[in-house]
Amino acid sequence: MVLDAIETTCVYCGCGCGLYLHVEDSKIIAVTPSMKPPARGRLCAKGWLLHGFANHPDRLREPLMRRGDRYVQTSWSEVLSFIAKSFADIKRDSGPDALAVLTSAKATNEENYLLMKLCRAALGTNNIDNVARLCHAPTLFALGSSLGSGSMTNPIESLLHSDLIMIIGSNTTEQHPVVSFYVMEARRNGAKIIVMDPRRTQIAEIADLHLQMRPGTDIALLNAILNVVIREGMIDEEFIRSRTDGFDEVHDRVAEYTPEAAERICGVPAELIHDAAVMYGSAGDAAIVYAMGITQHAHGTDNVQAIVNLALATGNLGRDGSGIYPLRGHQNVQGACDMGALPDYYTGYQKVSEFREKFEDSWNVELPASQGRTAIEIMSSAGSEIRGMYISGENPALSYPDSSRIRSALESLDLLVVADIFPTETTRMADVVLPIASFAEKYGTVTSTERKVQLIRKAIDPPGNALPEWVVAAKLLEIFGISAGYDSSAAVMREIAALTPSYGGISHERLERGGIHWPCPTQEHPGTPVLYRDGFPRGRALFRHVDQHECGDGRFTLIIGRSQYHFHTGSMTRRVCILEREVPEAFVDVNPKDAASLGIRNGTGVILESESGTIRARARLSDSVSSGTLFMPFHFRESPANMLTGWQLDPHSKIPSLKITSVSIRREGA
């Protein structure tokens, strides 16, 4: 076995692209896309260069334990008993809620499930969360409460049937390239594209209409569109009457959101808003695609609700080509949520308050009933109520808001265990570092943004003594006396399926033949690509009126996002030489007019300052941002954008307002 090709699923964003890893002597030498959907032969640069990091010599190979300022290598048995004993000590002294687990959106479903089980059954706390808290928690809340399921309503391919695609708060070409491929295919087949974004992104360039609103004014804009749709008689009255509740209030209250009123708030000409509304309202099947530009706000849940109101009013749900498409940022952030790595849910969104007995019976342990903390709440009580933490494959020291506060929170813990594939800013603060197998080194399943459960397959051996995290979690469970006996990740999936109605028919054997969209309740069920064809799980879908919130009053609003060539904190992509060359350092996009008034030229070093902190970066003059708006990616430890962001939380979903921050900007040395 010298040259092999193993089909698996890409590790980066949530598109879930199938690809082949070409392997020679346990090294990945090339990557090619799968011809099956959603990739259909397409990959982004990150995907094509996926051979760049798995075999990197920086990989963590041995378990490490801190001794003073240094780390020493140790064995798995020693490190796992140490972790178990330390957690047990904290639990005895301060109670189980002094412990917390953050799982990984890069780990498989099986791994998330076992960590969830470890947290609840062994540690005895509901303090568990995952990075969804920082990306799609508002989606989970708003879509869940108004439609019944907090996830994408249609598969990506469904966009090919759309007559109109409205994209809001999503830099689709850069962040979900394969979704943009379907958008562009739809456009080539005659679909209209409306983009609403404070930045003139590539997808905005090719759109029929681009509404370049002020950052954070999405609700005013969406409400104004609904206002016009209602006034022009473009609503789907039959759909509203037979399948929804609460329209009347929305109808009355969006009346004040005239395009003219919205123009004053959003800075988008009323006429353009009117045109967009007519274009959307008159389309047969219209889709709304959104991402972090909608969710990462202190009113993220309301933002999503404004989208739901628009889709419900026009009856754009339950058919091919229609629907709501929240784009997930991680390979398995959907799965991490599905697996109950959330403080208030078990697997498949079974509420802790309702289903505790079921899981107690199955796992044969008593489970905690106390209210669990969300990610930011866990961080804010670190060092006080929270004393021990297990972080799986996350780098909160760089990815969470207000980095300096996060760092001191992590430093104040009695025990911090971090499992990862590379050393990161967070492993550097850990008491114990666990070396984990990467996506290419283990079997398991991941669930993409379109609710599609797919296999990842082992292509190469993990480096050194690194282990798949499901093995680590299973061993810890055993130390805690929870009988595990899992001999494979397929066995873990059998347990998940038995406990989770929406995953009931999913097994590794079935997935060998291709991915399945949940809900898939039985072995015979084909899966459910399109939700709500025949109705809503909660009976009738719910309108809820939402109002535009106050916007930041600073002179400059900084938008934080990603570059297409890097992923999150760069622990993988910055180790891929070509990606690192493409975007080697942080940049701040500054409108040329602002730059002129500030004495900034292309490439000038600038200082950005907010209430939380100060950083330096290099200015890039670009008219993709309007005057008063700045944009910066958060991948770079040298210019950590999240030093600037704050902990202002959305009241419903507890997502922090990562997307926009009021800042001041000045020339370095000025």
Partner 1 sequence: MMFFLEKNDLPELLRRASAYFEIIAPVLVNGEPQLVSWRGEDLALGAPNPLLPPTRLFLPPRETLFTYLQESGLYTFQVPQVKERLIVGVRPCDLRALSLLDRIMLSEPADELYSKRRRSTAIVALSCTEPSESCFCAQMGSGPEAHEGFDLLLTDLGERYLLETGSPDGIMLARLSEELLERGDDAEKRALMRESRERILSARPWLSQERMRSKLREIDWRSMSRECISCGGCSFVCPTCHCFTIADLGLPDGERIRCADSCILSGFHRMASGANPKARPEERLLSWYMEKLEYMLSRAGMPGCVGCGRCERVCFSGLHKTDLFR
By beta-carbon proximity to partner 1, the closer residue of 40 and 549 is 40
* Sequence-distant (≥ 6) Cβ neighbours of residue 151 within 8 angstroms: 139, 140, 143, 326, 334, 451, 531
562-581 residues in contact with partner 1 (CB under 8 A) are: 564, 575, 577-578, 581
For the bound state, the minimum distance from the C-beta of residue 619 to partner 1, rounded and expressed in Å, comes to 12
By beta-carbon proximity to partner 1, the closer residue of 635 and 654 is 635
By beta-carbon proximity to partner 1, the closer residue of 44 and 493 is 44
By beta-carbon proximity to partner 1, the closer residue of 184 and 607 is 184
Q: Is 190 a residue that touches partner 1 (CB under 8 A)?
A: no
Q: Is 335 a residue that touches partner 1 (CB under 8 A)?
A: no
Nearest to 629, CA basis, from 303, 266, 138, 142: 266
For the bound state, the minimum distance from the C-beta of residue 624 to partner 1, rounded and expressed in Å, comes to 14
Q: Which stretch binds partner 1 (CB under 8 A): 55-63, 416-424, 635-643, 645-653?
A: 55-63
Euclidean distance between CA atoms 366 and 71, whole angstroms = 36
Torsion of CA 33, 36, 38, 41, to 10 degrees: 30
Q: Is 208 a residue that touches partner 1 (CB under 8 A)?
A: no
Q: Is 22 a residue that touches partner 1 (CB under 8 A)?
A: yes
> Binding pattern to partner 1, positions 480-519, x when CB under 8 A?
----------------------------------------
Q: Is 5 a residue that touches partner 1 (CB under 8 A)?
A: yes
* Sequence-distant (≥ 6) Cβ neighbours of residue 534 within 8 angstroms: 318
| Single-letter residue type at 374 | T
Q: Which stretch binds partner 1 (CB under 8 A): 28-36, 208-216, 249-257, 493-501?
A: 28-36
For the bound state, the minimum distance from the C-beta of residue 20 to partner 1, rounded and expressed in Å, comes to 6
Q: Which stretch binds partner 1 (CB under 8 A): 2-10, 121-129, 310-318, 538-546?
A: 2-10
Asked if residue 406 lies in contact with residue 400, where contact means CB atoms within 8 angstroms, the answer is yes
Q: Is 145 a residue that touches partner 1 (CB under 8 A)?
A: no
Q: Is 72 a residue that touches partner 1 (CB under 8 A)?
A: no
Q: Which stretch binds partner 1 (CB under 8 A): 36-44, 336-344, 413-421, 529-537?
A: 36-44
For the bound state, the minimum distance from the C-beta of residue 23 to partner 1, rounded and expressed in Å, comes to 9
Answer for which of 93, 205, 271, 461 binds partner 1 (CB under 8 A) is 205
Q: Tokens standing for 561?
A: 């996002």
Euclidean distance between CA atoms 236 and 234, whole angstroms = 7
By beta-carbon proximity to partner 1, the closer residue of 155 and 463 is 463
Asked if residue 382 lies in contact with residue 389, where contact means CB atoms within 8 angstroms, the answer is yes
Tokens 């498989």 appear where? Answer: 108
By beta-carbon proximity to partner 1, the closer residue of 189 and 627 is 189
Nearest to 483, CA basis, from 475, 491, 494, 471: 475
By beta-carbon proximity to partner 1, the closer residue of 29 and 498 is 29
For the bound state, the minimum distance from the C-beta of residue 111 to partner 1, rounded and expressed in Å, comes to 23
Strand 660-667 with 587-590, pairing: unpaired
* b/e per residue 496-528 (b: at least 16 CB within 10 A): bbebbbbbbbbbbebbeeebbbbbbbeeeeebb
Euclidean distance between CA atoms 127 and 90, whole angstroms = 14
152-181 residues in contact with partner 1 (CB under 8 A) are: 173-174, 177, 180-181
For the bound state, the minimum distance from the C-beta of residue 514 to partner 1, rounded and expressed in Å, comes to 8
Q: Is 3 a residue that touches partner 1 (CB under 8 A)?
A: yes
For the bound state, the minimum distance from the C-beta of residue 285 to partner 1, rounded and expressed in Å, comes to 22
Q: Tokens standing for 585?
A: 């350092």
- Contacts with partner 1: how many residues (CB under 8 A)? 53
Q: Is 49 a residue that touches partner 1 (CB under 8 A)?
A: yes
> Binding pattern to partner 1, positions 91-130, x when CB under 8 A?
----------------------------------------
Q: Is the dihedral of CA 380, 99, 659, 264 positive or negative?
A: negative
By beta-carbon proximity to partner 1, the closer residue of 40 and 538 is 40
Asked if residue 524 lies in contact with residue 512, where contact means CB atoms within 8 angstroms, the answer is no
Answer for which of 31, 213, 291, 352 binds partner 1 (CB under 8 A) is 31
Q: Which stretch binds partner 1 (CB under 8 A): 27-35, 66-74, 155-163, 491-499?
A: 27-35
Strand 587-590 with 209-211, pairing: unpaired
For the bound state, the minimum distance from the C-beta of residue 34 to partner 1, rounded and expressed in Å, comes to 6
Euclidean distance between CA atoms 112 and 132, whole angstroms = 13
* Sequence-distant (≥ 6) Cβ neighbours of residue 569 within 8 angstroms: 395, 398, 399, 424, 425, 634, 635, 637
Euclidean distance between CA atoms 375 and 181, whole angstroms = 33
For the bound state, the minimum distance from the C-beta of residue 123 to partner 1, rounded and expressed in Å, comes to 37
For the bound state, the minimum distance from the C-beta of residue 564 to partner 1, rounded and expressed in Å, comes to 7
Alpha helices in 480-531 (DSSP H): 489-499, 508-511
Answer for which of 7, 157, 208, 609 binds partner 1 (CB under 8 A) is 7
By beta-carbon proximity to partner 1, the closer residue of 526 and 603 is 603
Euclidean distance between CA atoms 538 and 129, whole angstroms = 25
Tokens 């001794």 appear where? Answer: 67
Long-range contacts of residues 475-481, Cβ cutoff 8 Å, at least 24 apart: 475/76, 475/80, 476/80, 476/83, 476/84, 476/118, 476/122, 477/114, 477/117, 477/118, 477/121, 477/122, 479/80, 479/81, 479/84, 480/84, 480/88, 480/118, 480/121, 480/122, 480/123, 481/122
Q: Which stretch binds partner 1 (CB under 8 A): 48-56, 125-133, 224-232, 318-326?
A: 48-56
* Sequence-distant (≥ 6) Cβ neighbours of residue 160 within 8 angstroms: 182, 185, 186, 189, 321
Euclidean distance between CA atoms 197 and 182, whole angstroms = 19
Euclidean distance between CA atoms 479 and 123, whole angstroms = 11
Residue 549 burial class via C-beta count within 10 angstroms: exposed 0-12, middle 13-18, buried 19 and up = middle
Answer for which of 13, 17, 34, 634 binds partner 1 (CB under 8 A) is 34
588-607 residues in contact with partner 1 (CB under 8 A) are: 603
By beta-carbon proximity to partner 1, the closer residue of 173 and 331 is 173
Q: Is 188 a residue that touches partner 1 (CB under 8 A)?
A: yes
Q: Which stretch binds partner 1 (CB under 8 A): 182-190, 302-310, 375-383, 639-647?
A: 182-190
> Binding pattern to partner 1, positions 526-565, x when CB under 8 A?
--------------------------------------x-
Show the CA angle centred on residue 59, arms to residues 407 and 429, nearest 5°: 15
Q: Tokens standing for 566?
A: 């890097």
406-425 residues in contact with partner 1 (CB under 8 A) are: none
Asked if residue 506 lies in contact with residue 453, where contact means CB atoms within 8 angstroms, the answer is yes
Binding interface with partner 1 (CB under 8 A)? 1-7, 20, 22, 24, 27-36, 41-45, 47-49, 51-52, 55-58, 173-174, 177, 180-181, 184-185, 188, 202, 205-206, 564, 575, 577-578, 581-583, 603
